[in-house]
Structure 1
């Protein structure tokens, strides 16, 4: 009997929220189990509108204060939807966030569901009343995220489709989907289609992976980009070179684990990067990439004296980028296995040649402590003691 009473009470609460569609503002259910909301949506033959919020979300509070209470907003939403709020930090809200995690990318997340719980559309952020109503009407008329995903899977690639899909993605704050869609569309395009200025403006910034076939196609079409005035060739060169530099840095940066440094060793990827670097007609200022690979390969071979000599030279011509950080990491790596006293002493000279303002306290190591270790390894006890006393 008690369970029947509780059920009837719940039904009366739900019906109180949805039975009357007139009146001021949106009437929301609050944190109701999604299964019950879906059941009610089927009973009333309505779409579900979810306001996913958190208590600390400023745009969420603005919607509650300035938009949801308005008469015209209430009239539209109460007529067309089952409206439910979920605090995404609470148990029921967390379930909703997990179920729709591909679209709940921030707060507020304003989501439309069909009566089976399938996502129809999502927008994020604050929207004034007229904008919010317009976007919901558009979604119900077919201009929605779910439809765009279906069209994408069907292989569409027209400029009009990309423009429409991009707008919906932007409204939904779906950054990961934007990147994936851009790459997928570019891979569908012919070279001639790819160098369409309007298409490239929409999709081009997503080309950042130098190991991808797409990146290679863009490099191959470097001059057609220039000839067709697709984009500023200087900006394109900077975009591609920055991606190459980032990849090169990852290939040479020592990795620390259990207080020990190891060097990456991926020759196939290194050859891809060097292949781009050698294309001097397209890429400028690549000396730093060549330099770090040279030092890296000398270190892998254990050619310590040559490595120190190379770092001195490249540091002198400013070809090592953030030279102090790079040099310290490679000196630390060398100290783990180098037994050559001459090389160890040479390393102290290299550290001494670094700019004074960078050598007292380093981002990763104290300069004097490193010098102490180097001199101790080289058997120079007096010098090791000297720098030990200078440690802070």
Structure 2
């Protein structure tokens, strides 16, 4: 009798524990969609990865909250899939899930209605649910609502995020309506990021917003950065057309011929070298990158030390010209002088080793090793460098 009671209490405990979080369906995605369609509800999907820390914190801290459980269980068919296992892989591909956690709200026809990302607190997590649970989504997809002229700013902002990767042109149209609706409203940092993301040409409707709202934009970004964006927008097509698709090399003559009339010689030269220092490392053309970086970072005082350190790292890995490495030395030294870390002291040590300054190389490699150990980081790279310098 005692064992029976113990077992009964255990079962009751386990049953109550199982309700201590959102009620996620343990079935296939196809069956989940069918249930959502039958009950005329949206699917809420927690798209996670097993190694993702914020995913685990959401599961532990937020999914278990009474208000969260109550709202999600009452209003959605809830599902969880590991995006790197089984059926989750196909779901990730279908909906373009690239960051974790991602929260997907999907109608019974499998159309993505709304999407959000990252760890969030109780109120934000409830807010996205209430936004997704708007009755207008019950019988219409986001695309249909957009075509019908929906102009709610939150809806349009979600459209931009939702389709930025899968349907850029639709997202771009949503951005144009969004900024038209915003009119004279205050622009946030996120607004400006969206404006610039969808702004590719001076012929785009949003370019006029960019020009008209300059005062508001330069409250968030500097005049210099604003000017850089303006130059890039004006010559974006020239940049695109100056890249030879067959050779992967940028045609300087074509670029200057077409860019100088738009922005002047000085801005054209800066823009071209900026383009090269971004493009050439991605295609592993380090010979062209070396030339472009030396020109672009000629006056190192005009650049952030983190940007200079990245260039120094690329030189330490892929450049052997002594005079070029001397410039990289200066860039790395600026970063180290600002604040010593195991990473920047290692890069400086590596450059010293390549330029033949063995004593400085040993000193900074030792410093990198000690800083790494002090901060619980991997010191093996510095140790290997020290071994090579013996």
Normalising by structure 2, we get a TM-score of 0.51
CA-CA distance at 1:25 after TM superposition: 2.5
**2:199/2:207 contact within 8 Å kept:** no
Aligned equivalent of 1:98? 93
173, 182, 189: which one aligns with 1:184 = 173
Aligned equivalent of 1:308? none
How is 1:1-392 mapped onto 2 (pairs within 5 angstroms)? 23-30=19-26, 32-42=27-37, 44=39, 46-101=41-96, 104-142=97-135, 148-154=142-148, 161-162=152-153, 164-166=155-157, 176=165, 183-184=172-173, 196-198=183-185, 202-203=191-192, 206-207=195-196, 212-214=201-203, 218=207, 229-232=215-218, 234=223, 235-241=225-231, 263-265=249-251, 270-278=256-264, 286=267, 288-289=269-270, 320-322=295-297, 356-357=326-327
**2:52/2:100 contact within 8 Å kept:** yes
Distance 1:185 1:245 in 2: 24
Q: Which runs of no fewer than 5 residues in structure 2 stay unpaired?
A: 1-15, 274-291, 300-310, 312-320, 331-347, 357-390
**1:112/1:119 contact within 8 Å kept:** yes
Greater relative contact order structure (CA < 8 Å, 6+ sep): 1
**1:88/1:96 contact within 8 Å kept:** yes
Determine which structure has the larger helix proportion and give its number.
2
Distance 1:272 1:35 in 2: 53
Distance 1:89 1:262 in 2: 34
CA-CA distance at 1:273 after TM superposition: 1.9
**2:157/2:178 contact within 8 Å kept:** no
CA-CA distance at 1:140 after TM superposition: 1.3
User: Which of structures 1 and 2 has the bigger CA Rg?
Assistant: 1
**2:49/2:83 contact within 8 Å kept:** yes
Aligned length: 278
SS, match of residue 286 in structure 1: helix
CA-CA distance at 1:54 after TM superposition: 0.8
SS, match of residue 47 in structure 2: strand
